[in-house]
Amino acid sequence: MDLTEQFKQERFKRINMNIENDRLVNAAKEFVFESTLPKYSYNFSWMGRPIIQYPQDIMAMQEIIWKIKPDLIIETGIAHGGSLIFSASMLELLGNNGQVLGIDIDIREHNRKEIEQHPMFKHITMIQGSSIDENIVKKVYEYTKGRKQVLVLLDSMHSHDHVLKELKLYSPFVTKGSYLVVFDTIIEDLPNNCFPGRPWSIGDNPKTAVYEFLKKNKHFEIDKTIQNNLLITVAPDGYLRRVS
């Protein structure tokens, strides 16, 4: 066995051992809980734009993108645009002339201006409208034509019904071997008081939508190795790999 393969196998064993380490798992859960109300995820930027993600999930996305080498990344939810910039910068590194398609019901003008002025904007297209509007989905479909590898990230409205509709509408765009990533499934695992004034809660959130979706769609499975590796993540059971 060469040294590279040996390292990979050792890492695989360590990841599997993570979930058996109760102290480590509980410490990670406690950190996620304690860091939610202070909005810890709002503290980070990517190439100058707020990304509103935990660093661990950013690292996971980097690994996924580098591994599957998508030529189209579809993202629902834009906010400040940091995730679009991140995805675009990864496509720039891949050098495959890939594109990022961002959809948001309300692209605020100051955010649009900053995104359009960014050096990575050459890889970005934005569509304003609801991600579950059939006319928007038709536009997205046009962008998927001729693409070899498509990755989809869902991070807009976090209610059960909305995410379930997104899953049904956007899952056909994901190519075999690629991923459909559903963010903020962590809502199911946190107390309801973590999200005051929000239209989502325990029992009504992205994770419940994922479970409902997987009951009937056998083309996807939860990639547990990602969350077992990260431990700290806003997307437990949200990294879905297309297997058929």
User: Sorting pLDDT into bands at 50, 70 and 90, what band is 192?
Assistant: confident
Q: Which domain does 135 fall in, by range?
A: 3-242
The model's pTM: 0.97
Q: What is the mean pLDDT of the chain?
A: 97
Question: Number of structural domains, the chain?
Answer: 1
For the chain, give the DSSP string: --HHHHHHHHHHHHHHHHTT-HHHHHHHHHHHHHHHTTTGGGG-EETTEE--S-HHHHHHHHHHHHHH--SEEEEE--TTSHHHHHHHHHHHHHTS--EEEEEES---HHHHHHHHTSGGGGGEEEEES-TT-HHHHHHHHHHHTT-S-EEEEE-S--SHHHHHHHHHHHGGGSPTT-EEEETTGGGGGS-GGGSTT-S-BTTBSHHHHHHHHHHH-TTEEE-HHHHHHHSS-S-TT-EEEE--
Mean pLDDT on 101-109: 98
Q: Are 214 and 222 in contact (CB under 8 A)?
A: yes
Q: What CATH number should be reported for the domain holding residue 142?
A: 3.40.50.150
pLDDT for the residue 85: 98
Share of the chain above pLDDT 90, in %: 96
- Reply yes or no on whether the pLDDT at 129 is more than 90: yes
Per-residue pLDDT tens over the stretch 130-158? 999 999 999 999 999 999 999 999 999 99
User: Sorting pLDDT into bands at 50, 70 and 90, what band is 193?
Assistant: confident
